Each structure stands twice: as structure tokens, then as C-alpha cells.
């Protein structure tokens, strides 16, 4: 029996020729990530482990993105703890305000992850780097501490689901619509403990931004990781961002998949996840008038340059509807700068939106766009749980940047075609 892409990466990093689903393995890590919320807990655990230094100061990274720039005194203390620790340990890749961006947009951009890597991060959306053909998964702070101490993590080798993509996306439909469609189809625990492996001719029409967005939300189906087959698009991206040599793992022809889903990209419409689960999906042609008060365009899911470009093209020359607050958050400093140079930020501001410095802020109800009782938001983020973005009686509708931009203009959940 053959191995999946994920199983091959795990086997290689565990020093084994072969692994199979269900086997427990201790894996060598290429990168260990934490942010300003999860790292303080990990730092305490690391100190309790009695270790003096991290296993490799080049392979531990911390990004101050969740409540940074510091939202309050407690958040400031947490960032200070990370800053002090990274200073003492001489961590090379510590990203503070000024250099930081939203972690899962930042790490690929900085070239810290390449195809074939095994990565853990104390953040559930660490699965994002599967877009690069890496094994990467979210863990807790204690696992992060263990990773920092010994450069290893234990895993149960996952079984896998195969998603064979074919066809080409329709105009104004993007990776977000595809992954919401898939989560709607298999449910929020449809891939529990498993890998989601994306392959097929359809990959050719998906940009790296589309793929990063899709792998990012694998966790919203309960998956251990999402991973894309490596093609020329991946190789070009990795080459442009990293000096490290990628290692390409392909699934064996006889790899075992519990189930294969064939998805025709050309059949996917503008997809929106209704409150309070990412699986509650509908297409924009199935819904009536749903007035909204806020739009958030950004996050580790959809704060990349391509996302801002898509939103700006729709919003160009129009005005944000009266009564709607539209918040745009470029995910990294680089994206911010490029969006400025390309005129997207000007478009947003002229249209009545605000543009924030990179932060996770509103996505998890931290700051920079908290919802009041009874308010509704369209967000390009990844979770619409009860109270996620503010008051327990507020509502979040997850959508693509295209739908979010159109909704900001009309003041209700709208397909892009309504404003074009």
C-alpha cells in the first residue's frame, strides 16, 4: 500500500521508510511558530521543562499579530514576555510591530516555509502552509514548548480525504468560495483527524492566494492538515520567496484515501457561511435581503494582495453604503506597501472604508472592529462562531473578498455582479 503526500512527509521527518494511518510517530520539525497569545503559555512551559536554550534559534519563530499593536496593558505585557524571551534566546525570526504581519501570510512571504517541510504552530490556522506542499498543523502551547525544546512533535499518522479539482473558477469566484463549498459539503468535522489532499487539473486555475486560503480553512473541517500537490505555480512562488531548496512529495498511485471527492470548480458559485458554523453555507442566489452593519476584508485567510486587488476592483469609484463600516486589513507590511503602490488603499479610503495596520484584531473579537448586540458582519475571515467577533448576539457571515466588497457597497449580502 502506498502513502499519501502527508504520510510521505511524516515518514521522511520521522526517519522511516514507511508509515501508515494510525501509527504514532515522533517527527523532526523544520519550524516551530507561536504568536503573542499562545507563546506566553509556551514560554512558561518551556521554562518548566528545564531547558536553557531552544533547539535551533533559526527554526523558532514568534509573530506579534493577534493583539498587536498592543490593544491593552495585559496584551502589552504578553508581547513584552515574547520580546524578552526571543531576545534572550537570540531568535532570528522574531516579528514585532513594524516587521510583523498576520503570521500565516507572513511566513510564506518571508520564505520560512518551503515544500516538503514539517511545521507546527501554536495557532490553529498553521495548516495554511499546506498550500506550499508542506505538512503543517496547529497545536497548543505545550506542543509548541516541546517543539522549541527538542525540535520534535508526536503525531498520529492521519488517514486522508482526496479532493480532485477539475475545471476552472468562474469570474469573481475564488479560493474562499471553493473551501466554503467543501466545508458546507463535508461539515465542520467532516475531515476530523484527517488530511485533506488537493490534487487535479483544476489546480492550474488556482493562484497561491487561493491555495493558501483553502489550506488555511482545512481546520474548519476538523482536518489535521490540508495539502496541495506541488506544481509550477508552487515552485515559482517558493523560488521567489526563499533560498531554501523545496522537496516535492507526491502521493503514490496506490495511496489510500478514505474517500475521493471530485469537484468541478466551474460549478462553484459565490458561497457564504451563515452563523454560527462555517458549514452553514448558501450561495448568494439562495438568499434574500440580509442587511449588514460591518464588513471586514483581511485576516490570515483573505488579507493577501490578490484579495485586496479583487476587493478594490469591485469598490473602485463606488461608495460604502450608509450605515456600513468597512474595515480593510492588509495582512503584512509588504502587502500594505504594495497595495499602496498599486492604488488599492486609495480606492478603499476614497470609497469610505478604513485601512488598518496588519493585525488579527477583529477576526477573533480582539479589537479593531468589535460587533455590538444584534449587528451583522460580512467577513473574509474564517470563523463565525457565537461571539467570535464581539457580542454573543452578533452575527458573522463568512465570504470571499469579492462578496465582502460588493456587500460593503450595497449594505446587504451581495454577489459581485450586483455592483458591477
Partner 1 sequence: MKMTGSVIKYGDNVDTDVIIPARYLNTSDHKELASHCMEDIDKTFAARVKPGDILVAGWNFGCGSSREHAPIAIKASGISLVIAKSFARIFYRNAINIGLAIVESPEAADAIAEGNVITADLDNGVLHNETTGQDYAVEAFPAFIQTIIENGGLVESIRNGSIR
Q: Rule CB under 8 A: choose which of 366, 369, 401, 416 binds partner 1.
A: 366
| CA pair distance 363, 366, nearest whole angstrom | 7
Near partner 1 in 123-152, by CB under 8 A: 123-124, 126, 138-143, 145-146, 149-150
Q: How far apart are the first and last CA of the chain?
A: 51
Count CB neighbours of 376 within 10 A.
Answer: 18
Residue 188 in the binding site for partner 1 (CB under 8 A): yes
Near partner 1 in 311-330, by CB under 8 A: none
Residue 298 grid cell: 483581511
Rg over alpha carbons for the chain, rounded to the nearest Å, is: 20
Residue 176 C-beta: closest distance to partner 1, Å: 18
Q: Rule CB under 8 A: choose which of 67, 95, 274, 348 binds partner 1.
A: 67
Residue 364 C-beta: closest distance to partner 1, Å: 4
Residue 20 in the binding site for partner 1 (CB under 8 A): no
- Provide the H-helix boundaries in 56-116: 73-88, 103-109
Residue 184 in the binding site for partner 1 (CB under 8 A): no
Q: How many residues in the shown chain lie near partner 1 by CB under 8 A? A: 52
Residue 211 in the binding site for partner 1 (CB under 8 A): no
Angle at 124 between CA 122 and CA 127, to 5 degrees: 105
Residue 396 in the binding site for partner 1 (CB under 8 A): no
> Which CB sits closer to partner 1, 277 or 320?
277
Write the DSSP string, 247-294. Answer: ------TTB--SEEEEEEGGG---EEEPTT-TT-EEEGGG----B-SE
Near partner 1 in 68-87, by CB under 8 A: 71-72, 74-75, 78
Residue 104 in the binding site for partner 1 (CB under 8 A): no
Count CB neighbours of 323 within 10 A.
Answer: 10
Residue 4 C-beta: closest distance to partner 1, Å: 17
3-state secondary structure of 315: helix
Residue 330 C-beta: closest distance to partner 1, Å: 21
3-state secondary structure of 111: coil
Residue 61 C-beta: closest distance to partner 1, Å: 16
> Which CB sits closer to partner 1, 44 or 346?
44
Tell me the β-bridge partners of 135. 118
3-state secondary structure of 323: coil
Residue 246 in the binding site for partner 1 (CB under 8 A): no
Contacts of 84 (CB under 8 A, 6+ apart): none
Q: Rule CB under 8 A: choose which of 122, 161, 183, 314 binds partner 1.
A: 122
Length of the chain (residues)? 420
Of 420, 417, 415, 125, the closest CA to residue 271 belongs to: 415
Residue 279 C-beta: closest distance to partner 1, Å: 9
Residue 29 in the binding site for partner 1 (CB under 8 A): no
Residue 38 grid cell: 499562545
> Which CB sits closer to partner 1, 33 or 251?
33
Residue carrying C-alpha cell 506544481:
231
Rounded to whole angstroms, what are the CA distances from 376 to 177, 229, 381? 20, 37, 14
Near partner 1 in 265-294, by CB under 8 A: 277
Q: Rule CB under 8 A: choose which of 13, 59, 162, 224 binds partner 1.
A: 224
Residues that bind partner 1 (CB under 8 A): 24, 26, 37-38, 40-41, 44-45, 48-51, 66-67, 71-72, 74-75, 78, 122-124, 126, 138-143, 145-146, 149-150, 154, 156, 188-189, 192-193, 219, 222, 224, 277, 364-366, 383, 385-388, 392
Amino acid at each position: 500500500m502506498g502513502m499519501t503526500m502527508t504520510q510521505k512527509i511524516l515518514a521522511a521527518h520521522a526517519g522511516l521508510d514507511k508509515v501508515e494511518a494510525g501509527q504514532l510517530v515522533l517527527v523532526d520539525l523544520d519550524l516551530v511558530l507561536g504568536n503573542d497569545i499562545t507563546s506566553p503559555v509556551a514560554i512558561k512551559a518551556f521554562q518548566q521543562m528545564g531547558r536553557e536554550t531552544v533547539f535551533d534559534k533559526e527554526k523558532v519563530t514568534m509573530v506579534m499579530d493577534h493583539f498587536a499593536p498592543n490593544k491593552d496593558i495585559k496584551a502589552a505585557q504578553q508581547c513584552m514576555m515574547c520580546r524578552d524571551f526571543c531576545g534572550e534566546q537570540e531568535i532570528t525570526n522574531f516579528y514585532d510591530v513594524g516587521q510583523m504581519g498576520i503570521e500565516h501570510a507572513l511566513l510564506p512571504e518571508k520564505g520560512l516555509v518551503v515544500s516538503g517541510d514539517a511545521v507546527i504552530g501554536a495557532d490553529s490556522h498553521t495548516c495554511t502552509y499546506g498550500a506550499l506542499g508542506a505538512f503543517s498543523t496547529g497545536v497548543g502551547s505545550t506542543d509548541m514548548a516541546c517543539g522549541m525544546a527538542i525540535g520534535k512533535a508526536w503525531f498520529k499518522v492521519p488517514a486522508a480525504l482526496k479532493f480532485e479539482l477539475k475545471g476552472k473558477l468562474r469570474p469573481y469566484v475564488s479560493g474562499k468560495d471553493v473551501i466554503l463549498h467543501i466545508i458546507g459539503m463535508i461539515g465542520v468535522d467532516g475531515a476530523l483527524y484527517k488530511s485533506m489532499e488537493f490534487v487535479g487539473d483544476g489546480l492550474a486555475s488556482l493562484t497561491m492566494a487561493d491555495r493558501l486560503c483553502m489550506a488555511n480553512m482545512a481546520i474548519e473541517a476538523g482536518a489535521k492538515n490540508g495539502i496541495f500537490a506541488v506544481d509550477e505555480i508552487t515552485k515559482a512562488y517558493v523560488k521567489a520567496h526563499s533560498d531554501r531548496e523545496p522537496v516535492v512529495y507526491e502521493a503514490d498511485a496506490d495511496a489510500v484515501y478514505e474517500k475521493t471527492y471530485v469537484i468541478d470548480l466551474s460549478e462553484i458559485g459565490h458561497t457564504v457561511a451563515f452563523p454560527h458554523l462555517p458549514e452553514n453555507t448558501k450561495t448568494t442566489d439562495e438568499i434574500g435581503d440580509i442587511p449588514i452593519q460591518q464588513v471586514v476584508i483581511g485576516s490570515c485567510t483573505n488579507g493577501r494582495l490578490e484579495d485586496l486587488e479583487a476587493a478594490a476592483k469591485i469598490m473602485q469609484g463606488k461608495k460604502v453604503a450608509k450605515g456600513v463600516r468597512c474595515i480593510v486589513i492588509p495582512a503584512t507590511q509588504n502587502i500594505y506597501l504594495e497595495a499602496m503602490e498599486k492604488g488599492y488603499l486609495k480606492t478603499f479610503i476614497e470609497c469610505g472604508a478604513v485601512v488598518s495596520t496588519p493585525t488579527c484584531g477583529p477576526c477573533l473579537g480582539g479589537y479593531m472592529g468589535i460587533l455590538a448586540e444584534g449587528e451583522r458582519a460580512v467577513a473574509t475571515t474564517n470563523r463565525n462562531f457565537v461571539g467570535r467577533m464581539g457580542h454573543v448576539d452578533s452575527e458573522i457571515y463568512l465570504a470571499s473578498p469579492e462578496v465582502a466588497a460588493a456587500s460593503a457597497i450595497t449594505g446587504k449580502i451581495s454577489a459581485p455582479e450586483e455592483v458591477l
